C-alpha cells in the first residue's frame, strides 16, 4: 500500500520558498510540501492563523509567495470530540466494513455534521462517534471521519474514513477526482437522453443558502468565489411528466447536481430550493447510488438501492397520464 506521511499534532514546520516556487499561492505551496493532506485542510489551518510568512501571521490563503520566504506551519492538536447522545434509531446502514474505512447509507433528513457549532441537531457524525469511537481522532475536529458529504435531504452511499491514513488517502482521491460517484434523480420534464453540463457554480448573492450556475451572460460583479463544475447525465427512463436520470458529477461543488439539473430546466422533484415542493415526495428526489474507487491495490465498487420514498415516487409517476 502506498505510503502517506502524516506529521505529529502540535508540531511546527519551517519551509523555505525556492526560486521555482515563487509566485505560488500560500495554500497551494503548503499542500505541495505536504501531499498527504488536502488543500482544504491547509485552508482551515491558514484561516485559524496557524501559518506565518517571515514571522508575520497570515490569515489569507491566496497570499503570493516570494523567493526565500520562510513559511511556518503549525499542525494543531486534536481536542476530544463530543457527540450528542442518540436515543432513537437513525436508520444508518453499514454496507461494508474495512479496517481503514466504512461504506454506509445515509438516510434523507440527516445532516452529515452539525450545521453550526452550537447546533443540538443529531447528525451522522454523532452516530459515527456513538458506534465507532476510534473515528474521533480521524480528520477535522468538527467532522471526524468525513471525507465527502451529502445534503441533509439527499440519501445514499458514503465513504467514512476509520483511520488517519484513509482520511488522507480519500481526501486526496476526491481532490484528484479519481473516485467515481453516481447519483439517481427524478426530475421534472424530459431532458435530452444524454448530456453534459459545464457551468461554474457560485453562492447566490441574495440567498446565502442557495448556489447558482454562472454562465458567460451572468454578471459576476456581486459574486464571491466562482468554481468550475461539470456533470454528465443520461436518462434511465421517461415517464409522462417526469424522468429518472443518472448523474455522474466530475467535480464536487455544493449542491452541484441540484443546480445543474435546474440550470437545464429540469429541477429535481421535491427540491424546494431550486424548483418547487411536490405532493409526490417530501424532499428532493436525489440519491447517491454508487461509488467506485481503488484503495491500495484493490478496486472497490458499491451500490445503494433507491429508498422507498423515491420508489413510491416512481410508481406514482408511472400512473400519471398527460
Catalytic residues: 151
Residue with C-alpha cell 447546533? 119
Query: What's 64's DSSP letter?
Result: B
CB atoms within 10 A of CB 28: 15
Q: Across the strands, what pairs with 226?
A: 202
C-alpha grid cell, residue 254: 455544493
Sign of CA dihedral 52, 57, 59, 63: negative
3-state class of 206 per DSSP?
A: coil
Query: What's 189's DSSP letter?
Result: S
CA-CA-CA-CA dihedral for 193, 195, 201, 207, to nearest 10: -20
Q: How far apart are CA 46 and CA 24, in angstroms?
A: 15
Q: How far apart are CA 181 and CA 257, in angstroms?
A: 11
Q: Across the strands, what pairs with 5?
A: none
Q: How far apart are CA 185 and CA 103, in angstroms?
A: 21
Phi, psi of 63 (to 5 degrees): -55, 135
Amino acid at each position: 500500500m502506498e505510503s502517506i506521511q502524516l506529521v505529529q499534532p502540535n508540531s511546527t514546520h519551517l519551509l523555505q520558498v525556492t526560486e521555482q516556487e515563487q509566485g505560488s499561492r500560500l495554500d497551494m505551496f503548503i499542500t505541495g510540501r505536504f501531499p498527504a493532506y488536502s488543500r482544504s485542510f491547509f485552508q482551515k489551518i491558514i484561516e485559524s492563523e496557524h501559518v506565518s510568512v517571515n514571522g508575520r501571521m497570515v490569515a489569507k490563503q491566496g497570499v503570493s509567495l516570494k523567493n526565500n520566504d520562510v513559511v511556518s506551519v503549525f499542525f494543531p492538536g486534536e481536542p476530544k470530540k463530543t457527540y450528542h447522545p442518540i436515543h432513537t434509531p437513525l436508520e444508518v446502514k453499514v454496507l461494508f466494513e474495512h479496517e481503514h474505512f466504512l461504506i454506509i447509507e445515509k438516510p434523507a433528513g440527516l445532516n452529515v455534521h452539525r450545521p453550526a457549532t452550537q447546533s443540538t441537531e443529531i447528525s451522522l457524525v454523532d452516530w459515527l462517534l456513538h458506534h465507532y469511537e476510534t473515528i474521533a481522532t480521524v480528520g477535522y475536529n468538527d467532522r471526524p471521519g468525513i471525507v465527502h458529504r451529502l445534503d441533509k435531504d439527499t440519501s445514499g452511499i458514503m465513504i467514512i474514513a476509520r483511520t488517519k491514513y484513509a482520511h488522507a488517502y480519500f481526501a486526496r482521491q476526491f481532490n484528484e477526482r479519481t473516485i467515481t460517484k453516481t447519483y439517481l434523480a427524478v426530475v421534472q420534464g424530459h431532458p435530452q437522453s444524454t448530456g453534459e453540463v459545464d457551468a461554474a457554480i457560485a453562492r447566490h448573492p441574495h440567498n446565502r443558502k442557495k448556489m447558482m450556475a454562472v454562465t458567460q451572460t451572468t454578471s459576476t460583479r456581486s459574486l464571491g468565489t466562482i468554481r468550475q463544475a461539470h456533470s454528465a447525465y443520461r436518462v434511465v427512463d421517461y415517464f409522462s411528466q417526469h424522468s429518472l436520470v443518472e448523474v455522474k458529477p466530475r467535480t464536487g461543488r455544493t449542491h452541484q447536481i441540484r443546480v445543474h439539473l435546474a440550470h437545464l430546466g429540469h429541477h429535481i422533484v421535491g427540491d424546494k430550493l431550486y424548483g418547487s415542493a411536490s405532493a409526490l415526495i417530501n424532499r428532493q428526489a436525489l440519491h447517491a447510488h454508487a461509488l467506485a474507487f481503488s484503495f491500495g491495490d484493490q478496486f472497490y465498487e458499491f451500490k445503494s438501492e433507491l429508498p422507498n420514498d423515491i420508489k413510491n415516487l416512481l410508481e406514482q409517476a408511472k400512473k400519471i397520464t398527460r
